[in-house]
A and B are shown apart, each in its own frame.
Chain A
Amino acid sequence: MTAQTKITPSFDAEKVRADFAILSRQVYGKPLAYLDSGASAQKPRIVLDTMRDFAQTEYANVHRGVHFLSAAATDRYEAARRTVQKFLNAAREDEIVFTKGGTEAINLVSYSFLAPRVQPGDEIVLTVMEHHSNIVPWHFLRERHGAVLRWVDVGDDGSLDIEALDAAITAKTKLVAVTHMSNVLGTITPLKDIIARAHAKGVPVLADGCQGAVHEVVDVQALDIDFYAITGHKLYGPTGIGALYAKRAHLKAMRPFNGGGEMIREVMQDRITYADPPARFEAGTPPIIESAGLATALDYLMAFDRKAVAAHEHDLLAYAREHVKQFNWLRVIGDAPGKGAILSFEAEGMHAHDLATILDREGVAVRAGHHCAQVLMERFGVASTSRASFALYNTRADVDALIAGLHKARGILV
């Protein structure tokens, strides 16, 4: 028998849940339904164990001492860089700069790459669905360098108008900065198409991958992207660490950002030379223990069939959509084709904060507010929304708890 049955990717969320100790705790006497991974994901035991073991057995400062532990810690730190390289499929390990998080990664591009290149009237193209961390660094360039922010709208379903984006890229454009996945709408942007169109006009592209990298497989070489920012804590890793992928040529041309130890070659009284990238951008003692945690989290994630994980998350989204579709008092915000597993909504007669308070008492953790995306809130004419975001460890039981909580909230508030 030669014909092999194709095995459908399977994914056992129940089994995965056992890796996350926090998921078995209760909140107000109710089982926890954690639907706020879009804000920050929980961490599997192996990440926490790795960090503790590393601190107990191999920890010292990196790139400094000649002693045994410093060498061991440096090896771990550089190995973590290679894990990020693999995760993003970067061509070279020195294209990965460790940062404090996604926000610092984007600020690094703003200060070190774009600020020296921007003249008054130059333009930066953004979409209205950006998160504040991919808005405010560009506002700085508007305030300080006279840059102009060109906003690309989304359709009512939250999908990006690629033609409008293309039209916004002109001879004055210095950068296109776009999210890979909206933290509110769940919209996945067509990065490959965006990059091709921007590059056709000689414009580099930065993607905010804080959400996207969690749910999509990222290949920076296939995308040919210039900059891609990630953050550890949304990737089931620790807080305090993230990374910027940047093409080698860009990094080499970028001036330093923070000044301090490790980013220099030579410091004299009247002159200074800088280390090569990525060290040039990693001043001071980096998040060493966190780097080991991040690497373990990425290995953990990469060990899954990522397509099966995505299918699982999409199943939860579809299941939730099926339920809320029947509620004529609930408006889902963001319905783009192929969107990621985020459900944002507005409920008639129930302000997001009142709703979140009541859900909380049922053990259901959702995000309520403007989600650090006020430009987008304005676009959809809402002050705030409630958001359930799904991760690999969520199950249909979490969705059921959400739906039951919605009914209960309506009973109280409306």
Chain B
Amino acid sequence: MDNALRELYQEVILDHSRHPRHHGVLEDASHKAEGYNPLCGDRVTVYLRLDADDRVADIKFEGKGCAISQASASMMTDMLKGRTAAEADRLMQGFLHLVKGEDASDLPEDDRERLEVMGGISAFPMRVKCATLAWHTYKSAVEEGAT
């Protein structure tokens, strides 16, 4: 297999897509948003419960789509749980840099290490939107999705 493909479809990513974490409906969500990529039909719904100081107390997602979009959503829920809004924003910015092949050195090291597995997508510009769908959906949930 060529290296770019091996980078893209790493075992970690395939594992997240086959066994998504935090999958399902969050019944007591305080925020919710649906993301849709009309180009390829990927769908992600992100449910959040933000506590009083805007911390992600709980997060779940549902979705349908390619391995990249679903793995990215699953990893995102793993990483966002317990974070403050400001931390989550920084993670998201770092992630967006990473998948576009840009400098993401401002991410805390352990976050960067965990997210770097998605870095292989930067060699596939047509697929970057698959990876970012969940994160953009998280953002709209926070900003416009109060239930």
**Residues of A participating in the B interface, judged by any CB pair closer than 8 Å:** 28, 351-354, 357-358, 361, 368-370, 377, 383-384, 408, 412-413
Contacts and interface: CB of A to CB of B under 8 A. Distances in A.
B66 A353 contact: yes
Interface of B: 1-2, 4-5, 8-9, 14, 39-43, 64-68, 124, 126-127, 130
- Give the 3 A-B CB pairs with smallest separation, nearest first: A351-B66, A353-B66, A383-B41
Given A28-B2, A357-B124, A383-B41, A413 B9 contact: yes
A408 B9 CA distance: 13
Contacts, number: 47
B5 A412 contact: yes
A35 to B, nearest CB: 17
A412 B1 contact: yes
Given A408-B1, A413-B14, A357 B40 contact: no
14 contacts: A28-B2, A351-B66, A352-B40, A353-B40, A354-B67, A354-B68, A357-B124, A361-B5, A369-B39, A377-B41, A383-B41, A412-B1, A412-B9, A413-B9
Given A370-B41, A412-B9, A354 B66 contact: yes
Nearest to A368: B40
A203 B30 CA distance: 54
A378 to B, nearest CB: 11
A181 B99 CA distance: 39
A62 B105 CA distance: 59
Nearest to B18: A349
A281 B113 CA distance: 60
B145 to A, nearest CB: 23
Which residue, of A354, A368, A369, has the highest number of chain B Cβ atoms within 10 A? Answer: A354
Given A28-B2, A408-B1, A357 B8 contact: yes
A361 B4 contact: yes
Contacts of A384: 40-41
Given A377-B41, A413-B67, 6 more contacts: A351-B66, A353-B130, A383-B43, A408-B1, A412-B1, A413-B14
Contacts of B1: 408, 412
Max chain B Cβ within 10 angstroms of own Cβ: one of A28, A357, A377, A408: A357
B127 to A, nearest CB: 6
B41 A354 contact: no
Contacts of B64: 383
A412 B8 CA distance: 10
